Amino acid sequence: MKKLFLLSILSGTMVSLTAQKAKVQSASNYLKYDELDKAKEAIDLASEHADTKTLGKTWFYKGKVYLALLNTKEEKFKALAPNAAEVAYNAFLKAFELNDKKVSKTDLNNNFAQLINPVFNKGIEAFKAKDYKVAGSLFEKTTMINQKLGLTDTLSIYNTGLSYANAGENAKAEISYKKCLDLGYGGDKMFTTMADLMVKDGKKDAAVEFLKNEGLKKYPNNQNILNYVFSIYLNDNDFDGALASVNSSLENEPNNAVFHYNKGFLLDQKKAPANEVLESYQKAIELDPNYFDAYYNAGALYFNNGANKIKERNELPLNEAKKAKTLENQAMEDFKKALPFLEKAHHINPSDKPTLKSLKELYVRLNMNDKVKEINDKLSN
């Protein structure tokens, strides 16, 4: 009786195992005839049953079924597995892990590779929908699929970083950007992209050091990197650092009007002598005769100098009449010097209100009443 009971147990076990293996075969058969609902039902049962969930073949076919659900154009099937990409990806990985000799490695590789395009496209869709965290996860999967197949997909690596950066998951983004740098992907712009992430993470000093020590070492005198270093310094009101960066840029491009303008602006912020500031603005104008900001700032510099002298004159005691007259004459000279710059700025941009208001005040101080009326008419329109 004991032997008979034992044989009954073994027989029952064999029947159960055979039945579950039949589920895997059924899923394969249903898949051939595009009966995806039945294929899904059969393979889900097999992947959950103790007798078949440890078989590589089970997970291989689960990957195939869910890959078909991912790619199908029939909404009734697509609705059965909104997470088909995730399930297929994990199923194929499980098949690799189990290393079932009954599963052809070539077939497994080929089917896994078929996930790349649909998963990548879903990543694009998620990114466009601003679902950045999901997009990062999907691009991460295409990166891993390629890696499993012995390939390097730099675009997916970059997109992973970009998606996670937009999702605010900077640590994950940094890992992907670092891989891009190691692979030489993205050129000099990859260095500024990484630095931008560091700045957003509150690591401004580290970003500057990274660009100087790694970016400029890889790309000496690269203007894109120098411009970004300049912007970091400027946004932080570090005018010394920004000026050093501009001077480096001028060594690269001595005839760049913007760099000369920036130098003048920074010297002005540092309260440098007026002649040094004006030299930079005038060089910018020489290189670009229609540089509105350079004309406006040069005129404003003279105007402010004159206004400061008038203020100093007004604060003098009555017994300083001679000095007061000298200051007034000096102020008038400054106003006269400001005039051509501001008039040229107005000529370049006739609708700019600050320029019109500055001109009006100049004309008032210089007793140019006809011009005052003209400006008032323009301001009232």
Residue 95 in domain: no
Residue 313 in domain: yes
Residue 209, pLDDT above cutoff 60: yes
Q: Cα–Cα distance between 63 and 119 in angstroms, integer?
A: 13
Q: Cα–Cα distance between 67 and 301 in angstroms, integer?
A: 68
**What ranges make up the beta strands (E) of 63-206?**
none
Using one digit for the tens of pLDDT, what is the confidence trace for 361-370?
Answer: 999 999 898 8
Both structure tokens of 194: 């990484």
Nearest to 155 by CA among 165, 163, 143, 138: 143
Residue 259, pLDDT above cutoff 80: yes
Residue 26 in domain: no
- Enclosing domain of residue 377: 293-381
- What's the average model confidence in pLDDT over 327-349? 93
pLDDT of residue 96: 93
Residue 13, pLDDT above cutoff 80: no
Residue 331 in domain: yes
| 49 secondary structure, DSSP code | S
Is 46:38 a contact under the CB 8 Å cutoff? no
- What's the average model confidence in pLDDT over 355-364? 91
Residue 306 in domain: yes
Residue 317 in domain: yes
Q: Quote the number of domains for the chain.
A: 1
Q: Cα–Cα distance between 4 and 2 in angstroms, integer?
A: 5
Is 66:81 a contact under the CB 8 Å cutoff? yes
- Residue 101, SS3? coil
Q: Binning pLDDT at 50, 70 and 90, where does residue 20 land? A: low
Nearest to 306 by CA among 327, 281, 280: 327
Residue 311 in domain: yes
Assign residue 121 a region: left if phi > 0, alpha if psi is -120 to 50, beta otherwise? alpha
Q: Cα–Cα distance between 279 and 273 in angstroms, integer?
A: 10
Read out DSSP for 327-356? HHHHHHHHHHHHHHHHHHHHHH-TT-HHHH
Most confident of 130-139, 225-234, 317-326: 130-139
Residue 77 in domain: no
Residue 163, pLDDT above cutoff 60: yes
